[in-house]
Amino acid sequence: MAKVTVVGAGFVGATVAQYIADKDLADVVVVDVIEGMPQGKSLDLTQAAPLLGHDRRLFGTNDYSDTKNSDIVVITAGIARKPGMSRDDLLKTNASIVQSVVKETIKLSSEAIFLVVTNPLDVMTYLTWKISRLPAPRVLGMAGVLDSARFQAFIAAELGFSAKDIRCMVLGGHGDLMVPLPRYCSVNGVPITELLSKDKLDALVKRTRDGGAEIVALLKAGSAFYAPGASVALMVEAILKDTHRLLPCAVYAQGEYGLKDVYVGLPAVLSRGGVEKIVELKLHDDELGALKRSADSIRENVEVMTKLLVTA
């Protein structure tokens, strides 16, 4: 049976563990620095297993030695930005956390695939790759699946159609400069541009870009975790089951789309080895320009993070 480690027992991490177990994909180890939290949540999930019809083993721990020989390591550990906290403060804090997590887990699971969720996601994925020294196909980030799912959900609500029939593709970084591609959205094969006006689509694109912030504003405290958790579980399923799903993920560009040496959201085929290949779509000039601006912003944040870590 496959083994997945989830680092971070907060809402996102616990939900990732829940969905992986519910899908009967793997045994799950949840690790966190807070004593009792991963143990309590894992015990609760274990008690749900008879009701949900699976026999997956869920184990909470504060000891990284329990993560040994994981097939996949999911990193959700980190903090959310708080009032009065600068972006640099958030970047420095989460970079320090992710750096520590990678150093602890890679020495115990050197053959694992690393899947990053901690924000700023694209930058943390790049950091994970650098610290782990793994081949780039074995390090990837989550956000494109989540952003595409949000776009799909908004389109389904607008049209009154089943969300299951809607397919979308959102590229770029996980933030204000993400690049939703309406041309590559369809409802059971029918182009979305045939069903919605440009004004309606523009509004849905904007709502997709603001999708996370909309939830934060409604919750007042905390951020999204159900859809992020489901997004991670979908990627874990594609990898463990070797399904060759084409999904938008934060992957390492080595010339694709004219981008190089940057982790950014691109269409990728996922299989048992991680990222099997990056698929190059034919983008219009404005779409390609938006993607490059998004990648440039990520690259700038990587430079800021590197300086912050050096001076820490």
Q: Report whether pLDDT(6) > 80.
A: yes
Point out the residues that are catalytic.
Answer: 174
- Which residue, 227, 226, 263, is CA-closest to 248? 263
**What's the pLDDT at 83?**
66
pLDDT value of residue 81: 73
Quick check: 9 and 34 in contact, CB under 8 A? yes
Could you tell me how far CA 300 lies from the centroid of its own chain?
20
Q: What does the alpha-carbon distance between residue 148 and residue 307 come to, in Å, rounded to a whole number? A: 32
Instruction: List, in order, residues 6 or more apart from 92 with CB less than 8 Å away.
Output: 305, 308, 309, 312
The answer to whether the beta carbons of residues 22 and 14 sit under 8 Å apart is no
Residue 274 in this model has a pLDDT that exceeds 70: yes
Tokens read off for 78: 């980190």
Spatial CA neighbour of 194 closest among 141, 235, 155, 144 = 155
Domains in the chain, CATH or no CATH each? 3-143 (3.40.50.720), 144-306 (3.90.110.10)
d(CA 114, CA 267): 18
Q: What is the pTM of this model?
A: 0.96
pLDDT for 225 beyond 80: yes
Tell me if 174 sits within 8 A of 122, measured CB to CB. yes
The tens digit of pLDDT for each residue in 55-114 reads: 999 999 999 999 999 999 999 999 887 767 677 788 999 999 999 999 999 999 999 999
Range with lowest mean pLDDT among 10-24, 73-87, 94-108, 163-177: 73-87
Per the rule left: phi > 0, alpha: psi between -120 and 50, beta: everything else, 84 is left
Report the share of the chain in percent with pLDDT over 90.
90
What are the helix (H) ranges across 160-262? Answer: 198-209, 211-219, 226-240
pLDDT at 312 exceeding the cut of 60: no
Residue 44: the pLDDT is 98
Q: What is the pLDDT of residue 147?
A: 96
Going by C-beta distance under 8 Å and a sequence separation of 6 or more, which residues neighbour residue 232?
Answer: 16, 19, 20, 74, 76, 115, 117, 142
Q: Write down the mean pLDDT value for the chain.
A: 95
Q: What is the residue whose two structure tokens read 């903090």?
A: 79
Q: What is the pLDDT of residue 297?
A: 95
